[in-house]
Chains A and B, each alone.
Chain A
Amino acid sequence: MALRTVTRKLGNKFFPLLSSTSHLHSHATSFGFKEVKEEEKAEMVGNVFSNVASNYDLMNDLMSAGLHRLWKDRLVSKLNPFPGMKHLDVAGGTGDVAFRILESINRVKQRGIKRDFEDILEAETKIYVCDINPNMLNVGKQRALQKGFMEDGSLVWVEGNAESLSFQNDTMDGYTIAFGIRNVTHIEKVLSEAHRVLKRGGRFLCLELSHVGIPIFKELYDLYSFSVIPSMGEMVAGDRESYQYLVESIRRFPTQEKFASMIADAGFQKVEYENLVGGVVAIHSGVKI
């Protein structure tokens, strides 16, 4: 299988310093239902997203029957974006969440909701989009140019790893990660980095495919996941394996309750979650106090 033959980057071998996240303890992690070495997961996930980047949004529309748009809207409405905010969107390379945040901020401005020193704040709205995959970032940057979002300099694209972010401590008002945390190697590190970069009072929000508990609906959802989605991936994106990985990785991800306790363990307060469509997706949130 192509995904299994992935070899470690040479860089890891020669510069252990540069791969600090992977060599500390090299036990097995999951890649869908497969057990793989920790240091291999990032690259295998990288291949999945390089393969699907160009069809990513189309496939999201097809698989979720367009619902992913509503889920992302819900995520952003929970965030309550405001003019002048500093926000970090992680794993959002194609810009879906970032554009919604900007649109929401523009609507706030149009409604004429005045805030103190609004002019000063407006000039400083910054939405940082951080993704580990350059292909996804390039897709996002192109879309931003087409949509005219690049003109005021409030969108900033950065290639980076959620487990070792390149942003200063206590700098962000908000942090979002949509359909991303399931794909990382160490969830705990991502949460601790999110906590580090947020200001006190800053909000952590995570949108992720989660677990369905309702009996009959669960069986239907499983049937759809394992029978329909991989075939759809093959027909539309010409890539069955990436979508097989997708449905497997959803089942491996911690349950809503378990993930909420991990967020609390990272130091967040007021941790809560909301199930959408019976738990097909969940939005977890926490505040750094």
Chain B
Amino acid sequence: MGRISKEVMGGAGKSLWEVLVCPLSKNPLRYCDETKTLISDAIAVSFPIKNGIPCLVPQDGKILQEEQDANDANSSAMNQGRSS
């Protein structure tokens, strides 16, 4: 029954993510099962869920690009090492 799954989600339920949008871009949010965060794909920012409460204050967001940048920096460092 729908009710049981709602209770498991702490009263939130999956439909919640469909009503919520990114507070900055106002585009849809995607729930990421792996990180248990809400992702705003439009601006590549993730928002945490703490204690069953989505934290959608703009300052709560983390830019996803950072990880990507870190990887890029590593690979370019390796390339430089090769060429010298």
Q: How far is the CA of A166 from the CA of B26 in the complex (A)?
A: 7
Q: Which of A19, A141, A151, A158 contacts B56 (CB 8 A)?
A: A158
Nearest to B28 among chain A residues (CB) is: A168
Q: Kindly specify which of A8-16, A254-262, A266-274 makes contact with the partner chain.
A: A8-16
Contact B19 A167 (CB under 8 A): yes
Interface contact B61-A18, CB-CB below 8 Å: yes
Closest to A169 in B: B26
Residue numbers in A under 8 Å from B11 (CB-CB): 150, 153, 155-157
Complex Cα distance, B52 from A138, in Å, reads 10
Residues of A within 8 A of B21 (CB): 166-168
| Inter-chain contact B56/A18, CB cutoff 8 Å | no
Interface status of A132 (Cβ within 8 A of chain B): yes
- Number of A-B residue pairs at CB separation under 8 A: 86
Q: Shortest beta-carbon distance, A179 to chain B, in Å?
A: 19
Measured CA separation A11–B57 after assembly (Å): 12
Count class of interface residues, chain B: 20 to 34
A99 to chain B, nearest CB (A): 14
A134 touches B50 (CB 8 A): yes
- Among A12, A138, A141, A151, the residue within 8 A (CB) of B59 is A12
Are the C-beta atoms of B59 and A137 separated by less than 8 Å? no
Identify which of residues 1-43 in chain B touch chain A, using a CB-to-CB cut-off of 8 Å: 3, 6-7, 11-13, 16, 19-24, 26, 29, 43
Q: Is A134 in contact with B53, judged by CB distance below 8 angstroms?
A: yes
B-side contacts of A151, CB under 8 Å: 7
CA distance A169 to B19 in the complex (A): 10
Q: For B23, give its contact among A11, A152, A153, A161 (CB under 8 Å).
A: A161
A165-B55 in contact given A18-B45, A150-B11, A153-B6 (Cβ < 8 Å): no
The 8 A CB mask of A164-190 against B (1 = contact, 0 = none) is: 111111010000000000000000000
A166 near B59 with CB under 8 A, answer no
Contact A160 B19 (CB under 8 A): no
Contacts A150-B11, A153-B11, A153-B13 given; does A168 touch B53 at CB 8 Å: no
- The answer for the CA separation of A137 and B16 in the assembled complex, in Å, is 17
Query: Is the CB–CB distance between A19 and B59 below 8 Å?
Result: yes
Contact A17 B19 (CB under 8 A): no
Contact (Cβ within 8 A) A18 B51: no
Residues on A lying within 8 angstroms of B by beta carbon are: 9, 11-12, 15, 17-21, 126, 128, 132, 134, 137-138, 141, 150-153, 155-161, 164-169, 171
User: Could you list 10 further interchain pairs (A-B, Cβ under 8 angstroms) beyond the known A18-B45, A153-B3, A168-B21?
Assistant: A18-B58, A132-B57, A134-B51, A137-B53, A153-B11, A155-B11, A159-B54, A164-B23, A166-B54, A171-B19
Q: List 21 A-B contacts (CB under 8 A).
A: A11-B59, A17-B63, A18-B63, A128-B19, A134-B50, A134-B53, A153-B3, A155-B11, A156-B12, A157-B52, A158-B53, A158-B54, A159-B53, A160-B56, A161-B56, A164-B23, A164-B58, A166-B23, A166-B56, A168-B21, A171-B19
